[in-house]
Structure formats: structure tokens, C-alpha cells
A = this chain, B = another copy of it.
Amino acid sequence: MKAEIISIGDELLVGQTVNTNASWIAYQLNLQGIEVLRITTISDTHDEIKNSLQEAAGRATAVLITGGLGPTRDDITKQALCDYFGSSLVFHEPSYKNIIELFGSRGLPVRDVNRRQAEIPHNCIPIHNANGTAPGMWFEKGGIIYVSMPGVPFEMQPMMRDFIIPELLKIKKGDHIVHKMIMTQGVGESFLAEIIGDWEDHLPGNFKVAYLPQPGMVRLRITGRGNEPHALEKELGRLTRELAELIPQYVYGYDEESPEEVIGRLLKEKSATLSTAESCTGGYIAHLITSVPGSSAYFTGSVIAYSNTIKTSVLGVKEQTLKAYGAVSEQTVTEMDEGIRRKFNTDYSIAVSGIAGPDGGTPQKPVGTIWIAVAGPRAALAKKFLFGKNRERNIRLAALSAINALRMAVMEQRI
């Protein structure tokens, strides 16, 4: 089974919304061995909807559509679907009941626009929407499956998980695809290519490696295709181990595991606790750490000392240190780190102070200069980084580098 995704919505074409739905759906389909051939984003017009359905049907056997449904935008999409599938709208009682219940639980009255959402093409199978008012729709025509879903991620995702994926798997046959993602930090794409190039040239013909760089990390994805799922998985495991052994110092995890999940796992294993003292990262490290469910088991908290006053009054940085070396210095970041670890009484700590930009740089300390300190029960270390001029990127790179520095220190038992 090969699939295509059609995303409907002017908000996507004018660039005011990023198409995260398409990525999410593609990821889920790939996990199940369903290859996605294309993702097409179109506008909310009758002709574009009909044309793109026709085109996708010429290439794929499953076409997944998102968007164009919802209380204020239902009409065009449903009319285009009716046209394409030669059907007409009928009132669907269970969908209407769902709308009434949903509004009732929120203490809101049902409006006319919501009532119209319960109207669906007569030849579709309606898909229950647990988190919203617009039902999904499943069509079959000429041996091809079409599914239309609302564009709100929170509504679309349970439909995919609970109904669409299980139904597609009943129909799917043929080739299997396997993936393994190797997550690296601290090395660039072309340097990686040089180290593993030879190994890559000798991969079995049904396997390939893709380099996926993003700020602060490069992900290496190994993909294999074949019709023997068991043998394929085994070969993937062997190749993954081989690759990881070529670059052990750079591999921090696998399969989209985030640096914050890895550090969380390590801290849990040690029953150790962590606190952070942040200046230029402004709470972003704490946010990453606490985005992991269960992080309260090891994360105690943080002081964001954005102003120098807080660095001295709350973290205990000496005024003399700030005067002599400045806020962005090895001395200050080390005292911040000592301060937070003492005050929050944790085993490990991270401190960051730097110039995120766009202002605040000097010839000696240009925008992008960031000092990072990490400390543990045995020792502490501080390190200087020089990133670029982009504020958002500097904050992200500083946070990732800080988490990576702590991870390496913890794993090498250096601190």
C-alpha cells in the first residue's frame, strides 16, 4: 500500500500555519510500513480538491485528506467530496449527538453552524471525533481508500490512531519498510559523511542512510526494504550497531529520543536530581527538561537570573566577580552553577550565561558567546561556545549543548 496526503487550507499556503499534520500522519503511516509518495497542500477550492484527489488516486491506493472541515469552513470540502464520490449530504444522527454532548460538557449551547457539521455524504463511513464536532469520513472508490479528517491535530490524531490506521492495516499487503534513527550531537554533516562514507558504500542494496541535519544535531536514518520482516529487522539491528560503533562519542540516542529524555533516563537510573540556573536561555532548558512526563522525579527546579541583581541576590554570585569578569564569563557561570546546586540541594546542576542577541555583543564577546557550566557530586566543568547571530537559534543551541555537556560528563563519570 502506498499513500498520499492532501492538506487543504489557505492558512498553509499563505504560510501562516506550519503543516505539522502532514508530518505526523506520514510518521504514523511509515511506522506501519505504509510508504508516503507525496504530500500536497492545496487551497480550499472545489476544483483544487477534486483535481488533487484525482491526481493522487493515479499514484497511490490510500489518500488521506486533512482540513477544510470545521464549523466555519465545512461547505466547500464536503460539496467537493460529494461531487467526486457522486453522493449527497445526509443528516447523521450519532454525529449530531456527539456535538450536543461535547457542547454540553463545556456548558455551551449548540449553534446552527455546528448542526450542519452532522451532515455527511451518504456513501461514506463516518469516523467518530472524540475531541471535536466535525466527523471524519472514509470512502472507497475504484479500489482506492480516501479518508477526510478535520485539520485540528487534537481531533485528527485520535481518528488516525483508533480507526484509520487499524482499518488500513487490514487492507495493506506487500513490502515492508524498516527504519532506525541514530541521533548524534557535536559533529557536522560533512565530517560525519567522511567518517562513515566507506561503511555506507558497502551497505546491502536494500538499505540506505539519510543525513538529517538540524540546529545542534544530525540525525542518521537507516532505511531497509524487503518482504521478510524478521530478516529485515535483524539486518537493521546489525547495521545500526555497526554504525554506532564508528561514532560512539557522537551518538546520544535512537529513534527521535530527545536529549532531554536521555538525560532524564540517566538521572533516573542514578536516582539523582538536577537543577538549572539560566540567564540567556531564559528557562528554555527547564522547559525542555520538564516537557518529559515524570520529570518531577529528578528535576527540582530552576532560577532564571535574567538580571544581574538576581544572579547576586538569589544565586549568590559575588558582585566583585560580575564587576571583574562580566556576566558572560567562566567565573560568573561557575558561581551561578555552585549557587543553584547549593540552594536547590541537587546532585547535578547546569548553569548558562551568554549573549543571545540581537543586541549586547562587544568585540571581545560577540553575540553568540555562551558560557556553560555543569556540576555533579565529584567535580564541575565550564566551557565556552561561540554560536551565530540568530537569537532563537542561539537559545536552542545553548540549551542543547548544556544538556549534552551534562550527559557526556555523567556518562564518562567525569563529574
Q: Tell me the A residues contacting B by CB distance below 8 Å.
A: 10-20, 22-30, 35-43, 48, 70-73, 108, 111, 113-114, 131, 133, 152, 154, 179, 181, 188-191, 193-194, 197, 210-215, 219, 221, 223, 256, 278, 281-287, 289-291, 293-296, 299-307, 309-310, 313-314, 343-345, 357-359, 388, 390-393, 395
Q: How many copies does the complex hold?
A: 2
Determine whether the beta carbon of B16 is less than 8 Å from that of A294: no
Determine whether the beta carbon of B211 is less than 8 Å from that of A73: yes
Q: CA separation between A35 and B303, bound complex, in Å? A: 47
- B residues in contact with A388, CB < 8 Å: 131, 154
Q: CA separation between A293 and B355, bound complex, in Å? A: 11
- Among A18, A294, A343, A392, the most chain B Cβ lie within 10 Å of the Cβ of A18
In the complex, which of the residues B28, B39, B219, B313 contacts A41, with contact meaning CB atoms closer than 8 Å?
B39
Residue contacts A-B, CB under 8 angstroms, 13 given: A12-B39, A22-B41, A70-B189, A70-B213, A73-B211, A111-B194, A113-B193, A286-B286, A293-B391, A295-B306, A300-B307, A309-B345, A314-B343
- B residues in contact with A395, CB < 8 Å: 290-291
- Among A15, A25, A114, A289, the most chain B Cβ lie within 10 Å of the Cβ of A15
- B residues in contact with A211, CB < 8 Å: 70, 72-73
CB distance from A341 to the nearest CB of B (A): 13
CB distance from A335 to the nearest CB of B (A): 16
Determine whether the beta carbon of A193 is less than 8 Å from that of B287: no
Known A14-B36, A301-B304; further 7 A-B contacts with Cβ < 8 A = A11-B212, A16-B27, A38-B42, A283-B285, A286-B286, A293-B359, A301-B303
- Known A40-B39, A301-B304, A306-B301; contact A190-B72, beta-carbon cutoff 8 A: yes
- Among A23, A42, A392, A393, the most chain B Cβ lie within 10 Å of the Cβ of A23
Q: CA separation between A303 and B27, bound complex, in Å? A: 37
